[in-house]
Amino acid sequence: MPDLELFITGHKGFETLLFHELRDLLGASDARLQKVYGGVRIEAGIDAVYRICLHSRLANRVFCELARGPVENEQQLYDTVRAIEWEKHLQARNSIAVAATVSRSQLDHGHFVALKTKDAIVDRFRDICGSRPVVEKTQPDLQIHVNLHRNQAAISLDLSGDSLHRRGYRTEHTGAPLKEHLAAALLVQAGWKRDSAQTLRLLDPMCGSGTFVIEAAMMAANIPPGLARDYFGFGQWLQHDPERWEECKARARQEIDAEVETRIYASDYDAGALRIARVNAKRAGVADLIEYSHQQVAALELPPGDVETLVIANPPYGKRMQGAQDLGQLYSDLGDALRRLAPARLAIISANPDQLHRLKLKRISRKDVRNGPLECLFAIFETARDAKTSKAKVESDDTIGEIALPLRNRLAKNSRHLQRWAARNGITCYRLYDADLPEFAFALDRYQSEVAPELEWFHLQEYQAPATIDPAKAGRRIGVAIDVVKQLFGIDDQQLYCKTRSRQRGSSQYQKQDNQGEFFQVSEGPASLLINLSDYLDSGLFLDHRSTRELVFRAARDKSVLNLFCYTGSVGVFAGLGGARSVLNVDLSATYLDWARENHLLNGLDDEARFQFLRAEIIELLRSPARFPINDEYDLIFLDPPSFSNSSKMQQSLDIQRDHAQLIRQTMRLLARDGLLLFSTNRRGFKISSEIGKDFDTRDISQATIPEDFRRNPKIHRCWEIRHPR
């Protein structure tokens, strides 16, 4: 038999792992493999089909391509399918099923494509032998698949039949389990393979129906995942060789290591889940390889051991932070458990990456993963790691080109100066560069993890080039800048987050850039704060207001504090840590109020009577304060409005230059007679109304609130102290 054209699919995003698994299974000399989007292409014989269906833990489907060609209308589709010599693959008495996937093509209805394909096959058999195959949707003798993409059709046999993730051992589950081939891929990604089963011990503390631990045990014992299946798509295929298939299964049984020594533990708080997991493990033939225990994550224990522990988990999912207190506690408990088990690694698939900061562990890798309809993050954390704080590499670097040398020198100079300044002042997050060189127009901030101080992230914000600059040239310049930053500071792509900062109108500076939802924990003075470097233009912490927050900290003792346009609540946190009697944080965005609550909880500011959050349109609140649940007056008010806002949630637009005088006057009505209003804006060219200076005691404190790392850009913000006249 000539080589077959095979296409092996797996879980999207794990094509590389699938490629390496198939190469090891088939051997480089026995098959030609090519990794492509969505899977792996292989030219190989029938033995490759058998080995993949029997042994692959990561594969989903095995397609054998019969024909490929352009299809722009139904007649072309019909002719292409009818021209295939179907009589070489099935008999007229066999049953068939046809499925189709369609994308970006003239024929855009999958069910129609499947019907036309079936018609062409049936008509060919009717013309050749006067009879036709019947259609059987459940386990037919042969399954045909049509993939139509950009008017190019691939017609294939599905030799796997049912999806290969269906191993046959999981007849019960606890709701929304991971598919088996995804669980296997995550285990491999986390470092669990047959060889590593001798040097690691594995724990799933939320085992549910046991998919992770069963897949891990089958790997350790070399049990083929397809051995227990009784249906494959090649069973009635005319080119199927039953004797070779039986020989392949016999060899697989002989290669099972029934005496393997491995340490695999599964626990869950739900006794019913443990019962299901035990039954599934017995059906998979690995019941004796897994030790089960009924434990809460908060009290998680393992037998003493002298090897590293790999913890893998798929926690339950929550929808929103304010409704996920139990979920947040679960993540905190899991982080505490990892520290007790150190040295240990945690591999976690989470649909709630906004909770990962609660682990308080060092993340060493991340990968976006889709689990059914859910966008998830698969991240690996560790409790201990030999790593040193990255330092700027100020020695010469021959890989830096001539165009980049001035930038490299400036970054190195800034870094040397600011590292010393930051160390003297206990500062861990600061600005390194802000368009110091006109040809490199970007800002670069450095953030140090509070949880793992040796870990740093860099946030690069490119200023949008003016229309007079060639976009291609600007793109090349920022590409050079990215390379310089990565080389100079010795970081990889996971530590560098890049954005483009254009002129912002309305609320666009607060709009999402991405949807990763992952927080990192950093520190500033006495406070722990959460940043998000991926999803928004800004990180959630305005570094230029470091000194302003310190001023609030010093002024807040025994004061009632009103934090307007509170954003992520950092000013409210500093007020609370400074001993404020009460703090009310106000913002129109529910997302940022949730973030502000998290920041307060992170700092132990959880007294709901003292620390409150109000979602309100602030312009309306200041105009009619009696309509809102607020005090008549406050001792300290922080007012830092956006330069512009025309959010659809607001009844009117805000232009801070145009509207600031009215805004300040209305705010002063809520200020106690001996109180203090801190007013700030980052509007370029802003000029405060002379009328405000006449009516109130006003002092410009801008220079005093510009920290050292922003001295190169002293116009980053303006700030005033405003009081009632005495």
648-659 burial, b if ≥16 CB within 10 A, otherwise e?
A: eebeeebebbee
Distance CA 161, CA 249 (A): 17
Per residue in 40-84, pLDDT (tens digit) is 999 999 999 999 999 999 999 999 999 999 999 999 999 999 999
Which secondary-structure segment (H or E) carries 513? Answer: none
Q: Please tell me whether residue 40 adopts helix, strand or coil conformation.
A: strand
Question: What are the backbone angles phi and psi of residue 127, rounded to the nearest 5°?
Answer: -70, -35
Distance CA 390, CA 495 (A): 11
CA angle 444, 448, 451 (to 5 degrees): 155
Structure tokens at 246: 């039986």
Distance CA 210, CA 206 (A): 9
Q: Which residues pair with 63 in a beta bridge?
A: 7, 158
Kindly list the structural domains of the chain, giving each domain's residue range(s) and its CATH number in brackets, ordered by start: 4-158 (3.30.2130.30), 180-222+257-382 (3.40.50.150), 405-502 (3.30.750.80), 539-723 (3.40.50.150)
Q: Mark out the alpha helices in 28-109 (DSSP H runs).
A: 46-55, 74-82
CA angle 594, 570, 414 (to 5 degrees): 125
- Name 227's Cβ contacts closer than 8 Å, sequence gap at least 6: 54, 249, 252, 253
Question: What are the backbone angles phi and psi of residue 543, rounded to the nearest 5°?
Answer: -65, -25
Distance CA 616, CA 224 (A): 59
Structure tokens at 6: 């095979």
Q: Please tell me whether residue 708 adopts helix, strand or coil conformation.
A: helix
The total number of residues written for the chain in this structure: 726
506: nearest Cα among 589, 426, 594: 589
Cα torsion through 263, 269, 272, 276, rounded to 10: -30
The confidence score (pLDDT) of residue 1 equals 60
Q: What parts of the chain have a pLDDT lower than 50?
A: 319-324, 385-399, 503-511, 648, 650
Place of tokens 């600061």: 430
Distance CA 558, CA 560 (A): 7
Longest Cα pair distance anywhere in the chain, in angstroms?
A: 106
CA angle 193, 194, 200 (to 5 degrees): 70
| β-strands 527-531, 520-524 pairing | antiparallel
The confidence score (pLDDT) of residue 391 equals 43
Positive or negative, the CA dihedral 189, 191, 196, 197 is: negative
The confidence score (pLDDT) of residue 506 equals 43
